[in-house]
Structure 1
Amino acid sequence: MADILAAPQQAERPGKAQGKIDHAMRTLGLISVAHWVSHFHLLVLPMLFPFLKQQLGVGYVELGLALTVFAVVSGLTQAPIGYLVDHIGARKILLLGLTVGGCALILLGLHLTYTSLIACAVLLGLANSVYHPADYAILSAHMDEARMGRAFSIHTFAGYFGGAVAPAVVAMLVTLVGGFGALIAAGAVGPATALLLIAGQVPEAGTAKHRDAGGAAKPSIITPALVVLTVFFMLLSLSNAGISNFGVVALMSGYATSFPTANLALTAFLGASAAGVLAGGFLADRTTRHGQVAAICFAVNAAIVLAIAAFALPDAVLIAAMTAAGFLGGVIAPSRDMLVRRAAPPGAAGRAFGIVSTGFNLGGIISPLLFGWIMDQSAPHWVFGLSAVFMVLTVLLAPITERRTKD
């Protein structure tokens, strides 16, 4: 990994160069672990829905409300947290987020009521709003510019991996220590990771000492570029959410796909997305045309998903198409992050990533209702059809994001 993270060192002493490499590797490793925790914690409550339903005596609508509360709180607090990152420091905010999110699950395991579930969802939403502003502020300040895309891709991959292993880890915890113990153990990961970051001396970013002290007037953070990128992030979320959340049931009900095949197709889609993220990091470091990369990938992706929507593909072809769609969707993630970094005013990386990440939360609020309504209308083909529409809109918007970031 050292050759990925190290900067060119033509004029530096070997010891100093190696010190920079070690610092970059340690920083990226620690921040990636924190991002793993964020995606892991996202799925703890959904994976425990059967246990929570039995213990609380409520329906899935009430349990779903907790996820809606989580999404709303996370969406409303992303931008304010970004402001705190830039003014208080990303390190402090990140450690606080890990601790709050973990303690929320621990307290729910110790005192399980429906009211405490909603309170836990509020705290988890607040904690979730920390990761993007704090993580990207630290990476932007401490990674080598020539390897920034690859650093972003490794960070994003760690998050994907956290989500991928969450079902298996939670299931194992339930088997070993029961539902209450699973909540406590999963929560304990947060404070433990905070201690790991402290021991590993994760660096600071976003405080006054890291900002330009030239005395110039601070630029407005609500720029046209960031507004466009927020819409761009929302469209990305909407284009992916329908397939991720409703793809299996849509394939089964609309195309007579068997449950094992539909599950395998979704697994291929998600796994290829993670692989695409890593490939996209190398691509992002070799071009400045990040908007064009996103547009090309999503144009091809839209064609693939439209074919899935329009035709009952043979199982092998369906799995191959879902794999290709997932890979292309992952490839654009580092370029997407590079667009935000380039659009951020000096000293405002935390706020910039906080603002645009609100687009993800908006997509997370809209997509369950929208695609759930589509399934209720017995129109499963439109799960893929509408996803393709959102991809086309993303293609149309991508060149505008690139032009805006150059302004």
Structure 2
Amino acid sequence: MSIVRIGLLSQVATAHFVSHLHIMVLAALFPVLPAFLGVSYVELGVALSLFNIVTALVQAPMGYAVDHYGARRLLIAAVALGSLSFLLIALFPNYTCLLIAMVLAGLANAVYHPADYALLSQAINPAHIGKAFSVHTFAGFLGAAVAPVLLLTIATASHPGLAFVAAALVGVVALGVLLLPGSGLAEVSHVRRVATPSDSNGGQRAVLLSPMILSLTLLFVVLNLSTSAIEKFSLAALMQGQGVALTWANAALTAFLFASAFGVLAGGALADRTRRHGLVAALAFALAGVLILIVANAELGDMALLITLGSAGFLTGLIAPSRDMLVRAASPKGAEGKTFGIVSTGFNIGGTLGPVGFGWLLDRGHPDAIFWASAAFMGLTVALTLMQSWYLERSNPSTAPLVALK
């Protein structure tokens, strides 16, 4: 891989790091936001849902924009807009401003997946694309893992407003990395695609409604619901339902997130060593679901809780590289931004439905139900993965094991 391509991968991974850190800002600060903003958990859930609704509505159009106008300029604009949104909350700490900021952050978030994957698919040698996807996904998971440690520490040690400032500053630093002259991203020149019959309204509708794209979108929905319950609500659930101290609850969530990131790297290595990707992914999520049920039912000690959630996080990370390879395999040539934009709306559909429901469970005094819900959605993920593998095997027996989740 050339130095320019390594530079481009580093820059795209940096942007993905920021995107996941920004996604986790509200979740990381959940324990302190009700008092800081004078709101309930349901109202915070509505803010998170608004973020996801906006992203879901504009992500597919952003995919089209990426393919038409170029990923580089849109990615730079997204990092800048996302950083601005969290700075606004720090400057105007009220619920109205929070909702406005979530709209802006949702617009920014809609750009990342189509722009990132379009840049990688177009610029990285196909022989290295799997490793590139693994590095990219690892960076995103790492950003999510850093968020609770960084932001909640700042909020509890000083003031919640400064935590929002810190989230904005991380984006500003990343913006400087993206704008480095002579870097890999600076060398990318967008080539406008030649119109093809698939670019017509009928062709676009066929891509959107194809069984493969719809099944992948549904997979992204249940994946989001299964993991976001832990990522965004386990802090409050552990403290409220099991009396876990904030320090240990935050440590357990951090273990889940960091282990998920390293699970991504392990998943990339595992994908090169096995042909039964669907079976491996289903088994990993089934085991993760069992561990989450243990958290829901057993009053674990602090260290046992950290180990159990960390192990569950590692297992959920295993699926990510194969997931991305499957979407790339389903992407028409030159339409990677469009396809990833469509499929990634599944994350935002899940992100829209989950927060209000999970917040309602907390407000109604059912914190352990957060973990029950996560385990249930993991079970649905397992069922969907196995059904998808079965369908692919029947459709194309000679290649099904290779593409089941890769």
1:194 corresponds to 2:180: no
Aligned counterparts of 2:253 and 2:161: Cα–Cα separation in 1: 30
Alignment partner of 1:221: what SS? helix
Shift of 1:185: 5.7
- Alpha-carbon distance change, 195 to 232 in structure 1, aligned in 2, over 3 angstroms: same
1:345 to 322, 332, 342: 332
1:151, distance to aligned residue in structure 2 (A): 1.7
Distance of aligned partners of 1:203 and 1:396 in 2 relative to their CA distance in 1, 3 Å threshold: farther
- Equivalent of 1:75 in 56, 61, 85: 56
Aligned equivalents of 1:396, 1:258: Cα separation in 2: 35
Could you report, residue by residue, the CA deviation over 1:246-277 in whole angstroms, capped at 9, with x for unpaired residues?
33454456556565554443332222111111
Where does residue 160 of structure 1 map in the other structure?
141
Q: Give the equivalent residue in structure 2 for 1:101.
A: 82
Q: What are the equivalent positions in structure 2 for 1:4-403 lying under 5 Å apart?
A: 6=1, 21-44=2-25, 62=43, 64-107=45-88, 109=90, 114-170=95-151, 183=164, 186-199=167-180, 200-202=183-185, 208-209=191-192, 215=196, 217-218=198-199, 219=203, 220-222=206-208, 223-251=210-238, 261-287=248-274, 289-313=276-300, 316-376=303-363, 378-402=365-389, 403=391
Q: Distance in 2 between matches of 1:183 and 1:388?
A: 31
Shift of the alpha carbon at 1:37?
Answer: 1.5
Larger radius of gyration: 1
C-alpha offsets along residues 191-242 of structure 1, whole Å, 9 cap, x if unaligned? 5533422322416879555x5x595645532121111111101111111122
Alignment: residue pair count: 386
Quick one: which amino acid aligns to residue 67 of structure 1?
L
Give, in whole Å, the separation in 2 of the partners of 1:290 and 1:283.
Answer: 9
Alpha-carbon shift at residue 53 of structure 1 (Å): 6.8
Cα gap change, 1:249/1:108 in structure 2, threshold over 3 Å: closer, same or farther? closer
- In structure 2, the CA distance between the partners of 1:244 and 1:75, relative to structure 1 (3 Å rule), is same
Contact 2:58 2:107 in 1 (8 A): yes
Is the 2:144–2:257 Cα contact (8 Å) retained in structure 1? no
**What code does the residue aligned with 2:379 have?**
V
Partners of 2:27 and 2:287 in 1: CA distance: 32
Could you tell me the TM-score, scaled by structure 1's length? 0.80
Contact 1:206–1:349 (CA<8 Å) still a contact in 2?
no
Indicate the residue corresponding to 1:17 in structure 2.
Answer: none
CA separation in 1, counterparts of 2:68 and 2:141?
29
Question: Are the equivalent residues in 2 in contact too, given 1:99–1:190 (CA < 8 A)?
Answer: yes
With normalisation by structure 2, the TM-score equals: 0.81
Distance in 2 separating the partners of 1:177 and 1:264: 19
Distance in structure 2 (CA, Å) of the matches to 1:236 and 1:122: 23
Cα distance in 1 for partners of 2:266, 2:31 equals: 37
CA RMSD between the two structures: 3.5
What are the superposed Cα offsets for residues 5-45 of structure 1, whole Å, 9 maximum, x if unpaired? x4xxxxxxxxxxxxxx3122111100011111112223445
Hey, what's the Cα distance between the residues in 2 that align with 1:355 and 1:88? 17
**Which ranges in structure 1 are unaligned for 5 or more consecutive residues?**
1-5, 7-20
Identity across matched positions, percent: 46
DSSP-derived class of the 1:346 partner: coil
Q: Distance in 2 between matches of 1:175 and 1:265?
A: 17
Partner of 2:402: none
SS of equivalent to 1:347: coil
Task: Tell me the SS of whatever aligns to 2:290.
Answer: helix
Pairwise CA distance, 1:168: 4.6
Partner AA of 2:214 in structure 1 = V
Compute the displacement of 1:100 (Å).
Answer: 1.8
Contact 2:36–2:160 under 8 Å retained in 1: no
Closer, same or farther: CA 205–74 of 1 in aligned 2, 3 Å: farther
Q: 1:252 to 1:64 in 2, by over 3 A?
A: closer
Aligned pair in 2 of structure 1 residues 172, 236: CA closer, same or farther (>3 Å)? closer
Could you tell me how far apart the structure 1 residues matched to 2:37 and 2:282 are? 46
Task: Classify 1:43/1:393 alpha carbon distance in 2 versus 1 (closer, same or farther; 3 Å).
Answer: closer
